[in-house]
Structure 1
């Protein structure tokens, strides 16, 4: 994009970084529940794997289109496509069609805990890509806290999961699919940021999520022979309908807007993405509240380590020189 390219008027989350970081955290909390909701859908219906992605992004993307059309200044959805569609639409295929196909497909092979853990490697990819693409330095604090948080995430899978993984080829495939999702998602988040600055978070979320969902529908239909009929939604059980609508409207429409828009607004996208390390901790809390699953000692230790590392990185600039040397 040229230097003369106009940007959207700055919103609250651009003028007040704490609002942007809060939006990112709320988005992370939404992502933390998506694995549970997807499992409810697969348990209640014959819908599973890539088909769940289709329901999620066709309906959730449509929800974003409706929100954009209701939002002043974001209604012209054709403008970004006319001006930069050759760049934006490939990112939709990468960050929506590709990433979330791998995400929901991985849940057919790996456990919720394994998938949640592997997807949480995304902040590491974002930091490295931000260094390579935008030349934003990856400070020592980010490297140390990132590795520490990743070690904390690893503690979550050492609680009996690694032993099963070592002898389970299907689980290994699921883990690799989830890691591929994290990589594609990270590339999307880095490359889409300037277009959000130019056109606005709501509009870019709509013109990437909905076309990405349509492409996903085509891909699943052609590759799997499963042509999803979203109009059959209300023929499903009541619990399945509620779960699909929650996954589409909450985990996608609202969550993606807050998460992607917040990450584009934060001053430091790597720091903002480090909040994603909290995803397994939030997932464990949700499991305790809604499923009555009490965390083990290892899981509690992991949550403490992850939270401490994220807090350390966020507060590093405010620490005095003596504390940093210590």
Structure 2
């Protein structure tokens, strides 16, 4: 692979991360509650992904996977990522952009422990390091939620717990969906997630919240709101996912490419602070540092251990 292609792959993966990181920001711009915005995102995003899948000969056949593996394909689409994304949007009704973005970023770390539970793969020392960071980040944000409640501010604890639930369910989805992604491809499985998740969430939103979303009213809404919903569906969902998956599929080291995902809370915090004018607490900054810092410790674990070993050997001599 040429050097230019490698850089393009990393750039695509980074653009995908920006799509993920800006989703919390765009959700806030819609001004809608979590349940309703989830329906809009899955409807518009599912439609966009459906058009992409049908435009490519390799992904055009959307019937065969449903015929061969209906239960796992439909089940994982609805009760995996769709349910996780629903919790994600609901969390933003209570917690800040920074809190939700930081907790959702722990999803890849949880994947390591889910793989251990599901497949029996041992957890290595570097993964334990990043796991400690995830634990500290979660602990700090849970504490931050309690402090907000005690201070009489907006109670962010339910949002923190919902975001944590999103990361946990999403981790199980990412592990269980892998064999089907290998068989049917990432674009088709992502398309199923949003296209099948849309009617499910439409029913849930209608029955539980009494909000029956009518997609035909999209352009009857205020221009800013309509634009934010289209951005959420097309950029944050369709284009963002495709860039992320394409980039990870072409980088020389997918594991290292995945580490770009941990820039998500930093990007989300910058967007929230400079554009939304959100207040970022010291506890939230410490949570970001804990998650990203310990992930850096995992990335350079061997180098750090070698450096410490050489230093110890020099001291002993």
Q: TM-score range by the shorter chain?
A: 0.7 to 0.9
1:129-140 equivalence runs, <5 A: 129-140=114-125
Q: Does 1:233 align with 2:254?
A: no
Distance (Å, rounded) in 1 between the aligned partners of 2:282 and 2:79: 38
Which ranges in structure 2 are unaligned for 5 or more consecutive residues? 312-317
Distance 1:220 1:268, change over 3 A: farther
Other-structure match for 1:183: 168
Shift of 1:98: 1.2
Which aligned pairs between 1:259-278 and structure 2 lie closer than 5 A?
A: 259=244, 274-278=259-263
Matches within 5 A, 1:141-290: 141-148=126-133, 151=136, 163-166=147-150, 170-259=155-244, 274-288=259-273, 290=275
Distance 2:203 2:131 in 1: 37
- Measure how far apart 1:315 and its partner are: 3.7
C-alpha separation between the residues in 2 aligned to 1:322 and 1:156?
Answer: 33
Unaligned residue ranges in structure 1 (runs of 5+): 1-11
When normalised by structure 2's length, the TM-score is: 0.82
Q: Do residues 314 (structure 1) and 303 (structure 2) align?
A: no
Label 1:122 to 1:271 Cα distance change in 2 as closer, same or farther (>3 A). Answer: farther
Tell me: CA distance 1:162–1:17, structure 2 relative to 1, closer, same or farther (3 Å). farther
Aligned to 2:17: 28
**Equivalent residue pairs, number:** 306
Match for 2:100 among 88, 111, 115? 115
Question: Could you say which residue in structure 1 is the equivalent of 2:315?
Answer: none
Cα 1:154–1:265 shift into 2, 3 Å: farther
**CA deviation profile, 1:269-318 (whole Å, cap 9, x unmatched):** 8776554332211212333554466977776666555444333323445x
Q: Which piece of structure 1 moves more, 95-104 or 58-67?
A: 95-104
Pairs within 5 Å for 1:30-49 = 30-42=19-31, 47-49=32-34
CA distance in 2, matches of 1:193, 1:22: 24
Q: Provide the alpha-carbon RMSD of the alignment.
A: 3.3
Which residue of 35, 38, 47 maps to 1:62?
A: 47
Distance 1:268 1:143 in 2: 20
Normalised to the residue count of structure 1, the TM-score between the two structures is 0.79
Distance 1:309 1:32 in 2: 19
Paired with 1:176 and 1:298, the residues of 2 have a C-alpha distance of 16
- Matched with 2:314 is none
